[in-house]
Amino acid sequence: MFSIQQQTATLAHLNVRAEKHGDEDHGAADLKIQFTAGNGILSEFHPALRSSMYKPADTPADQEEIFKPDPDAMTVRRFGNLIETLRLKHTITGATVVIGFGTGGVSDIELETVDVDHFAAELLEGGSVNITFRVKCAPTADQIARLYEVLGGEIDITVTPPVDPQGSMFDEDEE
C-alpha cells in the first residue's frame, strides 16, 4: 500500500468546501499534492508496475565492456510516448497525513483519518515519475491558514496508511 515518509512535494492546490454530516455542514478541504521521485515509487502501487512501464537502457554491443549496464536501472519508458500518464484507481481510507511546517514537531500540520485518492503517475524519460494525488481532509481553521501560507510552495509530507489490527484475509497479490 502506498506510503511516503518526509517526501519533498508541492502543495499545488487547496480547495476549501463544506461537507454534509447528516443535516449539519462541516468544513472540509481537498489538497492536491505533487512530487517527482524515482520510478521505484510505482512499486508502492503494485510490485510489477515499475517493470511494466520501464526497461533498462540498451547498451551497444561494442560498448558493453566499457559500460556495464545496471539491470536494476530502468530508465527507458517501455512504451515510449504511447503511455505518458497513468491514472491509478487506488484509495487509502483513514490515513494520517503530516505536512512539515516551520521547525517541525508541534508546528507540523497533522491530519488524521483522511482519504488519499486520485493518484496519477506521469512517466518521465530517464526513470523519474511525477506523482499527483488528492488528500480529502477536515482541517481546523488554524490548519487552513497555515496550509494557505505554503500553497504553491515546497512542503515535506508523510502519508501513513491506517493499521489493520486484524490483518488482511488476502495476500497482497490478491488485493
When pLDDT is averaged across residues 127-153 and rounded to a whole number, the result is: 95
Q: What is the distance between the alpha carbons of residues 58 and 157, in angstroms, rounded to a whole number?
A: 36
Enter the C-alpha cell of residue 5: 515518509
Q: What is the distance between the alpha carbons of residues 88 and 76, in angstroms, rounded to a whole number?
A: 21
Residue 97's pLDDT is 97
- How is the chain split into domains, by residue range? 4-55+72-160
The contacts of residue 89 (CB under 8 Å, 6+ apart) are none
Query: 125, 106 in Cβ contact below 8 A?
Result: no
96, β-bridge pairs: 160
Q: Which of 122, 112, 118, 119 is nearest to 159 (CA)?
A: 112
Query: 121, 130 in Cβ contact below 8 A?
Result: yes
Tens of pLDDT, residue by residue over 35-72, are 999 999 999 999 999 999 999 887 655 555 555 555 66
Residue 114's pLDDT is 96
Instruction: Report the predicted TM-score, pTM, of the whole model to 2 decimal places.
Output: 0.84
